[in-house]
Amino acid sequence: MPTITNGRILFNSVPGDLPEPGKTTIYDESQALDLDTVPLNGGFLVKLLEISVDPYMKGRMHATSYEDIIPPFIIGKPLFSFGIGVVLRSENLQIRAGDHLHGMLEHAKYSVQKDPAAFDIIHNPLNLPWSNFLSVLGRPGKVEWLNPLSTNSHLKSGKTAFMAWREFAKAKKGEIVFVSTGAGSVGSLVIQFAKMDGLKVVASAGSDEKVQYMKGLGADVAFNYKTTKTADILRNEGPIDIYWDNVGGATLDAALEAANVNARFIECGMTTEYTDGGNIPVKKLLQIIIKSITLHGFFVDRLCPKWNEVFMNIVPSLVASEKLGFKEETFQGLEVVGHALLDLLKGKNVGKVVVHVAED
Amino acid sequence: MPTITNGRILFNSVPGDLPEPGKTTIYDESQALDLDTVPLNGGFLVKLLEISVDPYMKGRMHATSYEDIIPPFIIGKPLFSFGIGVVLRSENLQIRAGDHLHGMLEHAKYSVQKDPAAFDIIHNPLNLPWSNFLSVLGRPGKVEWLNPLSTNSHLKSGKTAFMAWREFAKAKKGEIVFVSTGAGSVGSLVIQFAKMDGLKVVASAGSDEKVQYMKGLGADVAFNYKTTKTADILRNEGPIDIYWDNVGGATLDAALEAANVNARFIECGMTTEYTDGGNIPVKKLLQIIIKSITLHGFFVDRLCPKWNEVFMNIVPSLVASEKLGFKEETFQGLEVVGHALLDLLKGKNVGKVVVHVAED
């Protein structure tokens, strides 16, 4: 095979409020590569197929951000994020040519990787689009990669919704669940899993368009929390037996007030912690004693060993048969990563953002 | 039997800051009773043996307090609280003469009761002092009797400590537990149950005398939270695997900060809610996601159906063999109830306050 041009997205300069494609990140074609002869040194050569673009990537562009948890992007080097790649050649016994991998990958059409433990090999018997493995079938990666502050980022996925629902909801038919951020990548799946279990679903989001989307997913009561008081809705539609919390703060207080005896609270995220500066007070915790409520905090990776097989037996089939609604927003070509990230940070996306880099 | 004088403690006037024995409550001997002929009308005649005196009784002296949860005391009528009595005569098939009952009883040497469901029949094969059934072996009574705001009152008992520890602690030998209010009637037992399970126990209380008491119960680290910063102690002695919370607020925040991954928080009480006006902010709840913490709120009555038999098989034996330390402060004679309550509210008690009314 002749030498090819290895397109890469390089981090070029620290952005201000928003990244600027072509300035803070640039698409670079200066690297030449012979795929047949590039030295692997015991590693494996990966061709990038799909790459995930997530809000937390902005944080990595600031050298002081998250520095003790996850490394920042380095000027002159490629960005990296979760992606799907196919192995072209391997000198590692655990990884074979043809394997499809999920893991943290450089934003480069081709890269040589060293550590098999950093990747999962994906099995895809139903021939689902590979991008699905970054969205509805995605996993958030190893815990050590995650910054605590990114718990509500789009790293969360279908596994988050499925596994925590199975582990903590203890759902009984006829019970009432409240889902905040119900139009998000996790909440939208929770609505659907709850309906499959026969629950009444009350769901909130921040726009009328999202309210319509949640109703389309089956929510019995969907409302715009910016124009309707959460506490009023819950007073009329509750008491709630389960609360899927993506926001914390005042919404959590409203849910505590509206909780039934023995309610289960699934603490998936607290966006108010990130948007409102952290240490947001919650004032109604006495309710957890009065009503024998249990609050479950979790990271989905800690649930994976127990639930991964069940997930893989159930959810890909639901996706293949179109029984599970979810949204992906696909951008075409590695060169548009900077634009995809900018749109995302401007709030223009309506689903999981994935950049399609190459065909399998 | 000749007619006897039925001594009673009557509620006489609404107190100011503190009740005044002889004024707000009076000991009354105006009622005459023939124990052999007093009409039972299908009920049962109870001789009072022991009566519990608790802080929440002050609240009942104010007509507007707790009015929708629990009835206030009525001027001219006897006080009532949890007590132990023996049945002298019965016209109810579920209750027999000689039965010992635990339940809400009037402060009268003798009373006719109507409702068997309001009482538990106590079995006492080890011949423990009856007062023990109001303290270390006591139960807090039916949930419907309890005001949520009294969750930390002295209605809590050995059953609270034992059952919630069994249900929620999932204690493993070598783990670290932090117990706040460790010198209290519940916390002091939690310290001992935790040591029996092989844990390292860190415990806090509000005086050096109480610190010594906790050390005597086996606490590995005991400290006075008024002179030592809880966060500093936990940073050195933690991370903590279990937190037994009696106080909420800033102490709960400190425990969240010092928690280990997969920590269990047993939410027994939140005294700061009562002493600091309610709606006390807790600001570190994001920790429950970061560390996969579970918070368990509970009322012990909801645990009784599952754990009562285990409790009765284990704890009375521990008491009889003096393997479980606890404190009772006994006052002699129904006529001193007002004084006992006053002492209690002044903070003079060092254990569960019980008034001994009569021999069996």
Query: Band of the pLDDT at A155, cuts 50, 70, 90?
Result: low
Mean of all residue pLDDT scores within chain A:
89
Do B199 and B276 reside in the same domain of the chain?
Answer: yes
Q: Report if residue A146 sits inside a domain.
A: no
Do B39 and B80 reside in the same domain of the chain?
Answer: yes
Amino acid at A316: P
Provide the CATH number for the domain around residue B283. Answer: 3.40.50.720
Do A129 and A253 reside in the same domain of the chain?
Answer: no
Do A55 and A88 reside in the same domain of the chain?
Answer: yes
The structure's pTM equals: 0.84
Cβ of A268 and B279 within 8 Å? no
Number of domains making up chain A: 2
Report the distance separating Cα A183 and Cα A8, nearest Å: 33
Q: Report if residue B307 sits inside a domain.
A: no
Do B172 and B99 reside in the same domain of the chain?
Answer: no
Is the pLDDT at B156 greater than 90, yes or no?
no
The neighbour count for residue A81, using CB atoms within 10 Å, is: 23
* Among the partner residues B286, B295, B299, nearest to A273 by beta-carbon distance: B286
* CA-based nearest residue in chain B for residue A300: B292
Question: Which range (A292-306, B38-52, B96-110) has the least confidence?
Answer: A292-306
Chain A contact present for B129, CB below 8 A: no
Report the distance separating Cα A36 and Cα A341, nearest Å: 33
Q: Report if residue A127 sits inside a domain.
A: yes
- Widest CA span of chain B, in angstroms? 72
CB pairs under 8 A between A and B: 95
The neighbour count for residue A135, using CB atoms within 10 Å, is: 24
Cβ of B270 and A286 within 8 Å? yes
Report the distance separating Cα A150 and Cα A274, nearest Å: 9
Cβ of B297 and A299 within 8 Å? no
Q: Report if residue B146 sits inside a domain.
A: no
Q: Which of B284, B301, B318 is the last residue of a domain?
A: B301
- Alpha-carbon distance values, B73 to B44, B50, B77, B107, B112 (Å): 23, 19, 7, 11, 18
Cβ(B54)–Cβ(B104) under 8 Å?
no
Do A110 and A190 reside in the same domain of the chain?
Answer: no
Do A213 and A285 reside in the same domain of the chain?
Answer: yes
Q: Which of A219, A217, A237 is nearest to A229 (CA)?
A: A237
Query: Band of the pLDDT at A1, cuts 50, 70, 90?
Result: low
Q: Report if residue B312 sits inside a domain.
A: no
Question: Which range (A89-103, A310-324, B64-78) has the least confidence?
Answer: B64-78
Q: Report if residue B105 sits inside a domain.
A: yes
* Among the partner residues B261, B280, B295, nearest to A283 by beta-carbon distance: B280
Q: Residue B146: what pLDDT?
A: 45
Is the pLDDT at A356 greater than 90, yes or no?
yes
Q: Which of A244, A241, A245 is nearest to A262 (CA)?
A: A241
Mark which residues 282-321 of B lie under 8 Å from A by CB. 282-299, 302
What percentage of chain A has pLDDT greater than the value 90?
71
Token pair for B6: 């039925």
Cβ of B293 and A289 within 8 Å? no
* Among the partner residues B278, B280, B292, nearest to A298 by beta-carbon distance: B292
Token pair for B58: 């002050």
Nearest Cα of chain A lies from the Cα of B263 at a distance, in angstroms, of: 10
For the CA atoms of B108, B114, B118, B122, the dihedral, rounded to the nearest 10 degrees, stands at 70
B287-291 average pLDDT score: 92
Q: Residue A64: what pLDDT?
A: 53
Q: Residue B278: what pLDDT?
A: 77
Is the pLDDT at B10 greater than 50, yes or no?
yes
Q: Which of B251, B243, B253, B247 is nearest to B282 (CA)?
A: B253
Per the DSSP assignment, residues forming a β-bridge with A111 are A46
Query: Band of the pLDDT at B270, cuts 50, 70, 90?
Result: confident
Domain of residue A55, residue span:
4-135+327-356
The neighbour count for residue B119, using CB atoms within 10 Å, is: 23
Q: Please give the ipTM for the structure prediction.
A: 0.82
| Full 3-state SS string of A24-66 | CEEEECCCEECCCCCCCCCCEEEEEEEEECCCHHHHHCCCCCC
- Identify the residue with better confidence: A270 or B112: B112
Query: Band of the pLDDT at B216, cuts 50, 70, 90?
Result: very high
- Distant-in-sequence, close-in-space partners of A52: CB < 8 Å, separation ≥ 6: A81, A82, A83, A134, A138, A154, A352, A353, A354, A355
Q: Which of B301, B318, B348 is the last residue of a domain?
A: B301
Query: Band of the pLDDT at B324, cuts 50, 70, 90?
Result: very high
Do A76 and A8 reside in the same domain of the chain?
Answer: yes
Query: Band of the pLDDT at A144, cuts 50, 70, 90?
Result: very low
Q: What angle do CA A175, A268, B149 make, to 5 degrees?
A: 65
Q: Report if residue B314 sits inside a domain.
A: no
Nearest Cα of chain A lies from the Cα of B88 at a distance, in angstroms, of: 37
Interface probe, candidates A244, A286, A304, chain B, greatest B C-beta count within 10 A: A286
What does the DSSP 8-state code read for residue B145? G
Amino acid at A55: P
Query: Band of the pLDDT at B70, cuts 50, 70, 90?
Result: low
Nearest Cα of chain A lies from the Cα of B307 at a distance, in angstroms, of: 16
Cβ(A356)–Cβ(A331) under 8 Å?
yes
Do B297 and B163 reside in the same domain of the chain?
Answer: yes
Do A12 and A115 reside in the same domain of the chain?
Answer: yes
Q: Report if residue B242 sits inside a domain.
A: yes
* Among the partner residues B269, B281, B286, nearest to A283 by beta-carbon distance: B281
Is the pLDDT at B150 greater than 50, yes or no?
no
Token pair for B140: 């807090």
Q: Residue B144: what pLDDT?
A: 40
Is the pLDDT at A116 greater than 90, yes or no?
yes
Nearest Cα of chain B lies from the Cα of A174 at a distance, in angstroms, of: 22
What does the DSSP 8-state code read for residue B342? H
Question: Which range (A299-303, B143-147, B207-211, B269-273) has the least confidence?
Answer: B143-147
Report the distance separating Cα A223 and Cα A207, nearest Å: 8
Cβ of B292 and A280 within 8 Å? no
Query: Band of the pLDDT at B302, cuts 50, 70, 90?
Result: confident
Q: Which chain B residues are closer than 8 Å to A301 by Cβ?
A: none
What does the DSSP 8-state code read for residue B72? P
Report the distance separating Cα B123 and Cα A132, nearest Å: 63
Cβ of B292 and A287 within 8 Å? no
Q: Residue A214: what pLDDT?
A: 96
Q: Which chain B residues are closer than 8 Å to A266 by Cβ?
A: none
Q: pLDDT, tens digit, for every residue of B219-267?
A: 999 999 999 999 999 999 999 999 999 999 999 999 999 999 999 999 9
Report the distance separating Cα B243 and Cα B253, nearest Å: 11
Provide the CATH number for the domain around residue B15. Answer: 3.90.180.10
Q: Which chain A residues are closer than 8 Å to B170 by Cβ?
A: none
Question: Which range (A157-161, A180-184, B161-165) has the least confidence?
Answer: A157-161
B92-117 average pLDDT score: 96
Cβ of A262 and B302 within 8 Å? yes
Highest mean pLDDT among A98-112, A132-146, A300-314: A98-112
Query: Band of the pLDDT at A72, cuts 50, 70, 90?
Result: confident
Do B159 and B297 reside in the same domain of the chain?
Answer: yes
Q: Which of B335, B341, B345 is nearest to B53 (CA)?
A: B341
Q: Residue B237: what pLDDT?
A: 97
Do B170 and B292 reside in the same domain of the chain?
Answer: yes
Q: Which of A12, A13, A47, A10 is nearest to A27 (CA)?
A: A10
